[in-house]
């Protein structure tokens, strides 16, 4: 393979993978909310799970008062899990990838209930009780599930 062919094929592969990656990212709607912080926890509207008339599988709370974001998975209409997005291994911030949370630091993975599915993390994620009151979710930050 000569240099010109290599550059052509390399650029095509690079552009193709970039296009594929951006196409995949555009398929995933990630919705952020700051929620409403109270002295006991944080309130989130159930409407935050709706986007373009679809129910989202999760949303992320980002609030300046919180050291790490909280991912809320909708398990079904009446059950949610609220997970602190801080890796239990060495504390890096996690990234959401569908039904799992992935640590960019050393590769630990967690399911949507916060259980470790891939080491090196050995402990589950910190998770909080979630209750539904009317059209709001309340995440109790005083307790841990
Ligand atoms: S800090 Fe997450 S795997 Fe090490």
DSSP string for 74-139: EEETTEEEEEE-B-TTT-PBPEEETTEEE-TTT--EEETT--EEETT--SPPPEE-EEEETTEEEE
Q: Which residue has the higher pLDDT, 145 or 14?
A: 145
C-alpha of residue 94 to centroid of ligand 1, in Å = 9
Confirm if 105 and 16 have CB atoms less than 8 A apart: no
Cβ distance 118 to 108 under 8 Å? yes
The answer, yes or no, to whether the previous bond of 120 is cis (omega within 30 of 0) is yes
Q: Is the Cβ atom of 42 under 6 angstroms away from ligand 1?
A: no
Mean pLDDT of 46-61: 95
Tokens representing 53 are 């008339």
Tell me what pLDDT residue 1 has: 56
C-alpha–C-alpha distance, residues 60 and 42, integer Å:
12
The pLDDT of residue 13 is 47
Superfamily name and number for 31-140: Rieske [2Fe-2S] iron-sulphur domain (2.102.10.10)
Output the pLDDT for position 7: 47
Q: Looking at the CA of residue 103, tell me the nearest atom of ligand 1.
A: 2
Q: Hey, where are the domains in the chain?
A: 1-28, 31-140
Question: How far, in Å, from the CA of 102 to the mean position of ligand 1?
Answer: 9
Does the pLDDT at position 144 exceed 90? no
Using CA atoms, how far apart are residues 88 and 145, in angstroms rounded to an integer? 15
d(CA 50, CA 99): 17
Ligand 1 atom showing the smallest separation from residue 107 Cα? 3
Global pTM reads: 0.81
């Amino acid at each position: 393979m000569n240099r010109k062919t290599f550059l052509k094929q390399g650029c095509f592969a690079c552009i193709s993978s970039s296009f594929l990656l951006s196409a995949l990212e555009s398929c995933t709607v990630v919705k952020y909310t700051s929620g409403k912080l109270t002295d006991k926890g944080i309130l989130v509207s159930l409407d935050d799970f709706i986007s373009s008339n679809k129910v989202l599988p999760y949303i992320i709370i980002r609030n300046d008062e919180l050291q790490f974001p909280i991912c809320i998975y909708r398990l079904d209409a009446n059950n949610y899990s609220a997970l602190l997005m801080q890796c239990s291994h060495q504390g890096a911030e996690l990234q959401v990838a569908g039904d799992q949370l992935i640590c960019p630091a050393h590769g630990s993975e967690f399911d949507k209930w916060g259980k470790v599915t891939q080491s090196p993390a050995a402990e589950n994620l910190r998770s909080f009780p979630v209750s539904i009151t009317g059209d709001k979710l309340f995440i109790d930050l005083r307790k841990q599930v």
